[in-house]
Amino acid sequence: MAAAPAEVPTPLALANPDLPPAKRKKEDNSCLEISPVVVPATDTETVGWESLPADLVRRIADSFLPTNDVDCYMNMRAVCPTWRAATNNPWENASDVRFHPRRWIVLDEVFHSKDNDRWILLNTATGRFLHKKLALLGCSVVATTDGFLILADKSPPHAARVYNTLTGYTVPFAAPVPLEARVAYVASSDKPSLVLLGDSSRKLYEAVPESKDFDTHKRIPKGVYNFHRKAVVSGAYTQFNVPDLGRAIAPLLKDYHGDPARCFSIDLPRDGEDLRCFLVGLDGEVLAVMIAYRRPLFPLVFKMNTETEKLETVQNIGRFAIFIGHQRCLAIDADKLPGIEANCVYYTERLNLSAHICKYNCKDKNVERISEAAEFVKQHKKFVLLAHRPFTIIQLLCSYTINIPDSQLALQQMS
């Protein structure tokens, strides 16, 4: 797990060049006096860290990118002008995917408030938490996706902005944000494009930075829209071909008597409904996870067989754990986060206005509640954690999957 580079310690020999050699105290006349070897002073003692070779600086900086610790990369570039000159500037090319947040989630619904400009992010691959102070002056948060914040100017016409939480760079858009937008993703190509989803109209809005308005795609059938939305909120949309997976899931839903228009819905299950389906990216693959809302209640996990293009049952998810809420689904490397059990599916079971956290063990097919008392209570449209802080990591991740924050822009217009 990479950590943000703090101040680089000065080697002892450089910090104290004039210390006299230490001597060992004589215990008797037969003991020899022992002194350390003193290395003659050389010009290297006056060389500063800013004089490291440029290729070495680049190699050190680039070592942060495979784990997407872009914030560490930015901190290293801030050390001195020579280190900045030796490394690529993420602000010069907003489309460079090396500097895009990947595998990061924003735990905003638990920690963030209007009076608090500190945000908490989690790298689901490395288990590293990142506390960021983000001064979003004059902007409303519309949605979060990966480690991006989708913003809108508070003043009309509410132009869109994409804020990279790891680099601090903002891509301004000319197009105004539709008020119904609550879910979004950033597509990477020659230039970044922003895609917004409107739940009330079931339309997709797409724009590039210079677009005067969002291009509006025609109204999408309910089942297709719900399927696409589930892929977006779970971050799985970047890892699979949507039409191919949709065709593979269709016969599976038929086998389990699932309604395509309802099984991907984000609404709470109604009486008599048996099945809900979620999509999650896991270790380069996309899994379909079904929750059967009947007794016994347990998840069913499937993955795509690329040769047969059919979904097959998964009995073992290895070192990973899957978290499922009413809104979204995500996978976590359990080895990186203490307290989370590998090869398990954590999900929320609703009972009227409260909800319990349950754990399903894929190996022994055993279901158990994390605690006897309910962890959530429904207030308005959200499920609020009942536990006192500090929350456990399991509670935090379940809260992330059971809720999606409202658009601050929409709330501003309503008030």
In this predicted model, what pLDDT tens digit does every residue of 160-200 receive, in sequence order? 999 999 999 999 999 999 999 989 988 876 678 899 999 99
Question: How many separate domains does the chain show?
Answer: 1
Q: What is the pLDDT of residue 308?
A: 78
User: Does some domain include residue 346?
Assistant: yes
Cα angle vertex 145, ends 193, 68, to 5°?
95
Q: Which residues pair with 332 in a beta bridge?
A: 321
* Strand 366-369 to 354-361 pairing: antiparallel
360, 345 Cβ separation under 8 angstroms: yes
The residue assigned the tokens 């009330």 is 200
Residue (of 181, 186, 172) closest to 141 by Cα position: 181
Give a yes or no: residue 25 inside a domain: no
Phi, psi torsion values for 305, nearest 5 degrees: -90, 110
Give pLDDT, residue 264.
Answer: 86
| Residue 254: inside a domain | yes
* Nearest-5° Cα angle at 337, 108 to 325: 50
Tokens 């693959």 appear where? 285
Q: Look at residue 93 in the predicted model and tell me its pLDDT.
A: 83
Q: Return d(Cα 169, Cα 223) in angstroms, integer.
A: 36
> Could you say which DSSP state residue 251 is in?
H
Question: Does the residue 379 lie in any domain?
Answer: yes
In a domain, 270, yes or no: yes
Tokens of 366: 């055993």
Cα–Cα separations (whole angstroms), residue 378 to 89, 270, 309: 45, 16, 40
What are residue 156's phi and psi, to 5 degrees?
Answer: -60, 145
| Residue 83 φ then ψ, to 5° | -70, -35
Q: What is residue 37's predicted lDDT score, i.e. its pLDDT?
A: 42
Of all helices (H) and strands (E), which one includes residue 172?
Answer: strand 170-176
**Strand bridging mode 193-198 / 310-313:** unpaired
CA distance 30 to 22: 19
The residues of the chain scoring below 70 in pLDDT are 1-47, 108-116, 189-190, 238-243, 269-274, 293-297, 415
Residue 26: the pLDDT is: 43
Dihedral (CA of 266, 260, 233, 369) sign: positive
Per-residue DSSP letter, 85: H
Q: What six digits make up the tokens of 208?
A: 């590039």
Contacts of 21 (CB under 8 A, 6+ apart): 35, 36, 38
- Strands of the 129-133 sheet, one edge to the other: 104-106, 118-123, 129-133
Which pLDDT belongs to residue 234?
82
Query: Is residue 342 in some structural domain?
Result: yes
Name the region of 272 (left: φ>0; alpha: ψ -120 to 50; beta: rest). left
- What are the structure tokens assigned to 269, written together? 């299950």
Q: What is d(CA 313, CA 291) in angstroms, rounded to the nearest whole number?
A: 14
CB of 407 closer than 8 Å to CB of 413: no
* CA distance linking residue 301 with residue 277, whole number of Å: 10
Exposure of 262 in the CB half-sphere (CA atoms within 13 A): 15
Question: Is residue 7 packed enough to be buried (19+ CB in 10 Å), middle (13-18) or exposed (0-12)?
Answer: exposed
Can you give the pLDDT at residue 58? 95
Alpha-carbon distance 259 to 275, whole Å? 8
Q: Is residue 400 part of a domain?
A: yes
Residues counted in the chain: 415
Within 97-159, residue ranges assigned H as helices are 108-111
Residue 260 lies in a domain: yes
Range of the domain at 266: 231-415
pLDDT by residue (tens digit) across 85-108? Answer: 999 999 988 888 899 998 899 886
Question: How far apart are the C-alpha atoms of 222 and 279, rounded to whole Å?
Answer: 17
Pairing relationship of beta strands 344-351 and 320-324 according to DSSP bridges? parallel
Neighbours of 44 (CB within 10 A): 10
